[in-house]
Structure 1
Amino acid sequence: MAGIAVTGREDGSSALVRALRAGTLDVALLSSAPPFRAPDAETPALEIEILAERGLRVAVPAGHPLARGEYVDVADLHGRPWIAGPAAAAGESPTLGVWPGLDERPETVLVARDWLAKLALVAAGCGLTTVPASMGPAVPEGVRVLPVRGGPREQRRLLLARLPGPVPGPVAHLAGALRAAAVGS
């Protein structure tokens, strides 16, 4: 379909849901962590489609001792410096860049909003960060993304959200492209 203009916007899931409700976004990609609750309690309920469910990983500098193996043990994450998103730094959610469930107060040494900035900081040796398994193709040189063993299995869902009702053609076309990209990654 020709003539579609797509404008991207990065923000936290709650801000994206507010933008959907306000009508400033047609669709939003949201991340969801267990226990996988609805993104808000407003009515009408948003139309939610699960695009992917994947495990959470840890990104470490390629030259770091943790990068030598094929996985990282959760116990080896204790006392490490973390690169987190703004919400994690404000104490809102420890899962945005910091391994969830650590039995200590993790040290957030740097805050970066977007994934590529976090990964560049990891490559520079500034700390560790969490990433979804699907980030593999976007990882820059100097970073290894590894599964974590021990502790609970950390899963994340990628959701496509929109207001209920008829779907305009361009929005349906964009949603289809997002579905295809999620399946291909």
Structure 2
Amino acid sequence: MELRYLAAFVAVAEELHFGRAAKRLRMAQPPLSQQIRQLERELDVQLFERSTRSVRLTGAGEAFLGPVRTVLADLESATRLARAAGRGESGRVSVGFAGASSHTTLPRLTRAVRTAHPGIALVMRGQTYANRALDEVAEGCLDLGFVRSPVTRPGVRTRVIAEEELVCALASDHPLARQERIAVADLAAEPFVSFPANAGSSLRDVTFLTCERAGYLPRVVQEAPDSYTILALVAMGVGVTLTLTSCTHIQQTGLVYRPLAGAPVLLRSALAWRADNPSAALRSVLDVARETLPTPQGHPETAEDGAVAGPPA
């Protein structure tokens, strides 16, 4: 059954006049009459009672009219949605991120996307740590991930959106809290609070690397799944931790932050996506992100597949 037959049927049913229906459809009357007769043959029912003076719907025609209108309306709606999706104006984009480190960047992006493209739904996946987010982007499980640069993963593109510095968080009554800056070597005997070992946290990796460069491996006495819990434990005096400047908005009673002595340890936040992801909605989100979360000066706009965006942190 052809859709043009259904459109012809609705036009005649609404006009109850073949001449007016043909004019509405911008076609000649004989082909319209042929389409209606073909539709009746396919259905094996008579849809119209015709005379030289009038056209009326039969009982079968009246029963057929409502569902046909629904089918045509659904088709029109589906066509609009498909075209909007093709233009990147609608669709779903899955985003992986880890809580506190996205405190500033993520709300700016989500608000801007809602304003620019209200038809795009962002599906948020919290507590997706940087390393895991990168894996899931590479595997096609996520459209967009907040990761740490540099990235050397074939098929994945990245763009740096922020640069952060490693700082020390410790209890306010800790003896080292009286110092303006804390040497990483001075934390060698301290208990640490950290992310779980197998969670995919790049911050944990950088913490261990920084301590190893200072001559020791940190002694982790307690693990927690997010920065808010880690810093609460630090405020309780359970241990110390190395965190990022993006997390210093978390203010707890009994908690202080101190910069590290020596050359700053920098981590670069980036967005990552598969180079071959065909989603037009993702391209629209990336365009919004370029305006909302611009690349800091001194960094390449986009790292190509498997390329390194800047020197290691």
Matched ranges for 1:49-68 at <5 A: 49-68=159-178
When the two structures are aligned, how many residues end up with a matched partner? 173
Mark the structure with the bigger radius of gyration. Answer: 2
Alpha-carbon separation, structure 2, partners of 1:68 and 1:177: 41
Question: Contact conserved, 1:51 with 1:160, CA < 8 A, in 2?
Answer: yes
Query: Which TM-score applies when normalising by structure 1?
Result: 0.77
Regions of 4+ moved over 4 Å: 96-99
Structure with more helix by fraction: 2
Question: Contact conserved, 1:83 with 1:97, CA < 8 A, in 2?
Answer: no
Name the counterpart of 2:249: 137
Name the counterpart of 2:118: 2
Deviations 1:92-117 (A, max 9, x none): 96534785323123211011121111
Alpha-carbon separation, structure 1, partners of 2:140 and 2:132: 12
Deviations 1:88-145 (A, max 9, x none): 899x965347853231232110111211111111011100111111212123232111
Question: Contact conserved, 1:97 with 1:130, CA < 8 A, in 2?
Answer: no
SS of equivalent residue, structure 2 residue 248: helix
Matched ranges for 1:146-157 at <5 A: 146-150=258-262, 152-157=263-268
Identical residues among aligned pairs (%) = 27
Matched ranges for 1:1-185 at <5 A: 1-3=117-119, 4-32=121-149, 36=150, 38-40=151-153, 42=154, 44=155, 46-87=156-197, 94-96=205-207, 99-100=210-211, 101-150=213-262, 152-164=263-275, 167-168=280-281, 171-172=285-286, 175=289, 179=293
Alpha-carbon separation, structure 2, partners of 1:97 and 1:113: 17
Q: Which has the higher contact order (CA 8 A, sep 6+)?
A: 1
Structure 1 residue runs of 5 or longer lacking an equivalent are none
Decide whether aligned partners of structure 1 residues 117 and 97 sit closer, same or farther in structure 2, where only a CA change above 3 A counts: farther
Alpha-carbon separation, structure 2, partners of 1:89 and 1:21: 17
Moved more, 155-164 or 10-19: 10-19
1:15, CA displacement in angstroms? 2.0
1:174, CA displacement in angstroms? 6.7
